[in-house]
């Protein structure tokens, strides 16, 4: 009797309790989220976010509780999956973005916008896998001809076996898709939205005898909103939700702005949840272009009674909801690491580059950045620097740099640069706070220049580039002679959301650290930017094609210090202060 009762308890649904949680749930640049709940894989949630021109692309995150997320795999992780990603042009909105992730008949399907900036035209791509924890299992990308110049494809598997792709536009349109060939049907019109600009990011759901259409309106900026309509048929008349929008912080002073581009899903208790992109800082900082992390992923609970319309609360930094508590997110398989964790990387021989680090496009030569036997990360210089020049062509060369995302309001990022790498004037090994290739980045590194004796000598050089704010003047200072006996440490520390500072020190004597300069994060933000801030390293001959050099860095640290979730609320990580 007792044994039967115990078994019944184990098999019963686990009660969810209203618990407090904080946003963002996936911090840092994680825009355009799309999520699914998969009971067949041990009741696990999976999300993807936009990757644009970064590589690997299509990051897949997994969680058991919606709050703790681990990098599971990348849907685009091998150049042979889609060779054109190597040579896409230098536009911020190039590459892969606004994906939809769905699970159907034992497989995950991911459909995405592919914007080829060379021809200034969007296309769609599709990949799938049966194992979201295995990079190698993701298939080659199938190119799909979109029905017109449209973006933001959805993927909906209807009960009759048809596959429907909804797309952006006024009106939102839809077409049928052949998963095997990528062929699409003639599109039909769905809904114009509620009258705001830029109807986009559609998702279709079927519930209680209705098709529900969820879209974004107002542009992915301060007027962003999530709205809904429903219809009895997939191509019928759509009835707007009477209390639209479902979620939006437009017209408010809320700390979380730009809320929109949502997706909805259920948990194992049948509770509904929504994810959306959002930007922290409130309207004042947003209008001043202060948003160094860009668009992040936030979570909100949705109440959706049978046959009725859903409702949701406005997104805030601290919210409550029936958080699912089945399983342990700390024991998930996959690539790892967990989102928001520290980087403490000493490059042990035989180790690999951390899986959460990314490059801008695939490296032209995959071996140009690798862990060396010297407890260092070895980087081969590229001819082009981060800004590039008029002769740069991604078909023939790459940019050798590697980054990780800024995931916290306050952090401590540092890396040790080994001197003696140069063989020619203007050879540079540097640290970068990076937003977009060629357009927005702030750099401090060691550059070798000829001194008064016409001998190569190391200098600290600070240089910034921005399309939004006026870039400060370059700074050039000689590396102190007393520091030449070992690596130098470059550190970035925020003073606030709007000001970051570069510090330098001899790595062996960190107490000699001194401030080199501070800069405004407005250099790295602009209204509607798809990406967010990255930190990393690069090596370049600054345009000299007659030689290259090998450089080394060591002791890479990214320490999460604190997360600001409201004007007056900061969550401190006492381990790192």
pLDDT tens track for 354-403: 999 999 989 999 999 999 999 999 999 999 999 888 888 777 888 999 99
| Residue 316 near residue 24, CB atoms below 8 Å | no
Average model confidence (pLDDT) for the chain? 94
**Long-range pairs for 495-499 at CB < 8 Å and ≥24 separation?**
497/280, 497/281, 497/285, 497/290, 497/292, 497/409, 497/521, 497/564, 498/285, 498/288, 498/290, 498/522
- What stretch(es) of the chain map to CATH 2.60.120.200? 349-576
Tens digits of residue pLDDT in 402-424? 999 999 999 999 999 999 999 99
Q: What mean pLDDT comes out for the span 271-277?
A: 99
Give the model's pLDDT for residue 394. 76
In this predicted structure, the answer to whether residue 18 has a pLDDT above a threshold of 50 is yes
Q: Quick one: CA dihedral 89, 434, 134, 277, positive or negative?
A: negative
Q: What mean pLDDT comes out for the span 27-38?
A: 98
Which of 3.40.50.1260, 3.30.70.360, 3.80.30.20, 2.115.10.20 would CATH assign to domain 17-326? 2.115.10.20
For the chain, how many helices (H) and strands (E)? 2, 39
In this predicted structure, the answer to whether residue 281 has a pLDDT above a threshold of 90 is yes
| Residue 195 near residue 181, CB atoms below 8 Å | no
End-to-end Cα, the chain, rounded Å: 54
Give the model's pLDDT for residue 232. 98
- How are strands ordered across the β-sheet holding 44-48? 34-38, 44-48, 57-63, 70-76
Token pair, residue 473, equals 């003047």
Q: How many angstroms from the chain centroid is the CA of residue 72? A: 14
Known active-site residue 575:
no
Of 127-136, 396-405, 558-567, the range with the lowest mean pLDDT is: 396-405
In this predicted structure, the answer to whether residue 40 has a pLDDT above a threshold of 90 is yes
Give the model's pLDDT for residue 333. 94
In this predicted structure, the answer to whether residue 1 has a pLDDT above a threshold of 60 is no
Would you call 180 helix, strand, or coil by DSSP?
Answer: coil
Give the model's pLDDT for residue 437. 65
- What stretch(es) of the chain map to CATH 2.115.10.20? 17-326
Known active-site residue 143:
no
Q: How confident is the model at residue 164 (pLDDT cuts 50, 70, 90)?
A: very high
Give the model's pLDDT for residue 5. 34
Give the model's pLDDT for residue 331. 86
| Residue 323 near residue 17, CB atoms below 8 Å | yes
Which is it for strands 343-345 and 410-417: parallel, antiparallel or unpaired?
A: unpaired
φ/ψ of 510, rounded to 5, equals -60, -20
In this predicted structure, the answer to whether residue 328 has a pLDDT above a threshold of 50 is yes
**Residue 542, CB-side half-sphere exposure with 13 Å CA sphere:** 16
- Selected residue with higher pLDDT from 190 and 387: 190
Give the model's pLDDT for residue 14. 53
Cα pseudo-dihedral 250, 291, 170, 274, rounded to 10: -70
Q: Quick one: CA dihedral 186, 190, 193, 199, positive or negative?
A: negative
Q: What is the C-alpha separation between 158 and 112, in angstroms, rounded?
A: 19
Q: How confident is the model at residue 325 (pLDDT cuts 50, 70, 90)?
A: confident
Which of 1.10.3720.10, 1.20.1630.10, 1.10.357.10, 2.60.120.200 would CATH assign to domain 349-576? 2.60.120.200
Q: Which of 200, 296, 427, 497 is catalytic?
A: 200
């Amino acid at each position: 009797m007792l044994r039967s009762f115990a078994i019944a308890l184990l098999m019963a649904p686990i009660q969810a309790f209203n618990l407090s949680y904080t946003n963002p749930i996936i911090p840092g640049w994680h825009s355009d989220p799309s999520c699914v709940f998969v009971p067949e894989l041990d009741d696990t949630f999976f999300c993807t976010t936009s990757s644009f021109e970064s590589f690997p692309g299509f990051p897949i995150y997994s969680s058991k509780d919606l709050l703790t997320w681990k990098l599971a795999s990348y849907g685009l992780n091998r150049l042979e999956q889609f060779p054109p990603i190597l040579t896409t042009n230098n536009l911020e909105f190039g590459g892969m973005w606004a994906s939809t992730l769905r699970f159907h008949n034992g497989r995950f399907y991911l459909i995405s916008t592919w914007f080829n900036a060379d021809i200034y035209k969007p296309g769609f791509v599709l990949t799938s896998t049966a194992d979201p924890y295995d990079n190698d299992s993701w298939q080659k990308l199938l190119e799909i001809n979109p029905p017109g110049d449209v973006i933001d494809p959805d993927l909906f598997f209807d009960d009759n076996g048809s596959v429907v792709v909804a797309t952006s536009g006024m009106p939102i349109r839809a077409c049928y898709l052949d998963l095997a060939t990528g062929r699409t049907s003639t599109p039909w019109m769905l809904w114009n939205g509620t009258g705001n600009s830029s109807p986009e990011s559609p998702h279709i759901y079927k519930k209680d005898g209705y098709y529900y259409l969820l879209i974004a309106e107002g542009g992915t900026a301060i007027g962003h909103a999530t709205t809904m309509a429903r219809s009895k048929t997939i191509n019928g008349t759509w009835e707007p939700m009477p209390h639209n929008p479902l979620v939006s912080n437009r017209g408010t002073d809320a700390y979380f702005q730009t809320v929109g581009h949502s997706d909805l899903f259920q948990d194992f208790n049948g509770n509904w949840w929504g994810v959306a992109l959002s930007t922290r800082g409130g309207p004042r900082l947003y209008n001043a272009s202060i948003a160094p992390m860009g668009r992040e992923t936030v979570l909100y609970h949705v109440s959706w009674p049978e046959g009725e319309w859903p409702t949701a609360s406005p997104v805030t930094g601290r919210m409550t909801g029936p958080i699912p508590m089945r399983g342990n997110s700390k024991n998930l398989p996959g690539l790892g690491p967990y989102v928001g964790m520290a980087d403490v990387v000493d490059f042990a021989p035989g180790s690999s580059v951390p899986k959460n680090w990314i490059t801008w496009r695939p490296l032209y030569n995959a071996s140009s950045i690798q862990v060396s036997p010297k407890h260092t990360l070895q980087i081969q210089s590229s001819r082009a620097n981060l800004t590039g020049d008029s002769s740069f062509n991604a078909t023939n060369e790459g940019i050798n740099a590697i980054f990780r995302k800024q995931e916290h309001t306050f952090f401590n990022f540092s890396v040790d640069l080994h001197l003696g790498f140069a063989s020619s004037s203007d050879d540079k090994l540097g640290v970068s706070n990076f937003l977009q290739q060629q357009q927005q980045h702030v750099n401090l590194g060691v550059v070798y220049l000829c001194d008064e004796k016409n001998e190569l000598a190391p200098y600290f050089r600070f240089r910034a580039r921005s399309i939004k704010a006026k870039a400060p003047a370059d700074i050039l200072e000689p590396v102190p002679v007393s520091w030449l006996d070992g690596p130098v440490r470059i550190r970035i520390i925020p003073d606030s959301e709007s000001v970051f500072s570069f510090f330098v020190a001899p790595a062996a004597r960190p107490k000699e650290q001194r401030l080199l300069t501070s800069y405004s994060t407005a250099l790295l933000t602009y209204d509607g930017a798809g990406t967010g801030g990255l930190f990393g390293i690069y090596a370049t001959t600054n345009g000299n094609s007659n030689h290259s050099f090998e450089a080394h860095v060591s002791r890479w640290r990214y320490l999460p210090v604190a997360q600001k979730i409201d004007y007056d609320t900061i969550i401190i990580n006492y381990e790192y202060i």
